[in-house]
């Protein structure tokens, strides 16, 4: 069962990730948070301690504030849940620059994921997500080619609706993601990743992939890379 400490930490973590709490914003006092969550001072202070360790907040004698340069990045699960709430995977203040949107023959592992014949096409979208001058993530999302015909935004590089692709799929086809699986690994950046993220070739990165499906099958196979210094995490309940 999720503890009250975890609930409090995740509550503020989500507000920071979504942009509802912005850099420099002051958090409520320990007493105010304890009253809101019917909790105790030590429990709240432990939750705030987690956020400090993650780099999400800083604490002074005047109180706790959202860090100027937040070091926590949204996980695939965070972005999917945000899309279900707001119709966009982007947090407040985040932007996405779409570098490519095309129908191409995918690598064999992508063809196998979608159970399509080698040589058949899939839709590939490559983009960089950032906040201000900070580049947060380089990603490539793959979709079945059949969706591209029904959802024109999949082949668009226009920035205005880049974060709403999942909502566009649901509106056009009725398909909505109901399950997902993530995998992550630490490695070094290749030449393309270093150039896109503005980092040095061979820099440490956290690379991941996610598969998002509904009862009809795979909708999105996503691959992403986070630059060094960004933490990413998941919440889970074993009950």
Listing DSSP states for the chain in one string gives ---HHHHHHHHHHHHHHHTSS-TTPBPPPHHHHHHHTT--HHHHHHHHHHHHHHTSEEEETTEEEE-SS--B---HHHHHHHHHHHS-SPPTTEEEEEEEEEEEPPPHHHHHHHT--TT--EEEEEEEEEETTEEEEEEEEEEEHHHHHH-GGGG---STTGGGHHHHHHHHH-----EEEEEEEEEE--HHHHHHHT--TT-EEEEEEEEEEETTEEEEEEEEEEETT-B--------
Tens of pLDDT along 69-88?
A: 767 778 888 888 888 888 88
Rounded-to-integer distance, Cα 147 and Cα 164, Å: 15
* pLDDT score at 238: 63
* pLDDT score at 6: 86
Q: What's the pTM value of the predicted model, to 2 decimals?
A: 0.81
Q: With both helix axes pointing from N to C terminus, report the angle between 41-54 and 4-18 in degrees, rounded to the nearest 10.
A: 40
* pLDDT score at 134: 83
Residue 69 structure tokens? 């340069």
CATH number for region 91-227 = 3.40.1410.10
CATH number for region 4-66 = 1.10.10.10
* pLDDT score at 13: 85
* pLDDT score at 237: 66
* pLDDT score at 210: 95
Q: Tell me the average confidence (pLDDT) per consecutive run of 10 residues in the chain, 239 residues long.
A: 82 84 91 93 91 86 84 83 88 89 96 94 95 89 94 89 90 95 95 95 95 96 92 70
- Tell me the domain boundaries of the chain: 4-66, 91-227
């Amino acid at each position: 069962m999720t503890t009250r400490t975890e609930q409090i930490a995740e509550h503020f973590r989500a507000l920071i990730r979504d942009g509802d709490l912005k850099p420099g914003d002051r958090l409520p006092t320990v007493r105010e948070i304890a009253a809101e969550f019917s909790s105790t001072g030590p429990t709240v202070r432990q939750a705030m301690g987690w956020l400090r360790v993650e780099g999400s907040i800083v604490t002074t004698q005047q109180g706790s504030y959202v860090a100027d340069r937040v070091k926590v990045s949204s996980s695939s699960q965070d972005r999917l849940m945000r899309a279900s709430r707001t119709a966009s995977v982007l947090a407040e203040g985040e932007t996405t620059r779409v570098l490519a949107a095309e129908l191409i023959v995918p690598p064999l592992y992508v063809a196998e994921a979608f159970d399509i014949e080698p040589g058949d096409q899939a839709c590939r979208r490559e983009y960089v997500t950032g906040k201000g001058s900070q580049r947060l993530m380089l990603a490539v999302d793959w979709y079945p080619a059949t969706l591209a015909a029904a959802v024109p935004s999949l082949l668009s590089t226009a920035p205005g609706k880049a974060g709403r692709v999942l909502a566009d799929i649901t509106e056009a086809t009725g398909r909505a993601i109901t399950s997902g699986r993530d995998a992550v690994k630490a490695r070094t950046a290749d030449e393309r990743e270093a150039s896109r993220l503005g980092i040095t070739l061979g820099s440490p990165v956290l690379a991941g992939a996610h598969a998002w499906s509904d009862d009809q099958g795979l909708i999105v196979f996503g691959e992403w890379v986070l630059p060094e210094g960004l933490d990413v995490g998941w919440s889970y309940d074993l009950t």
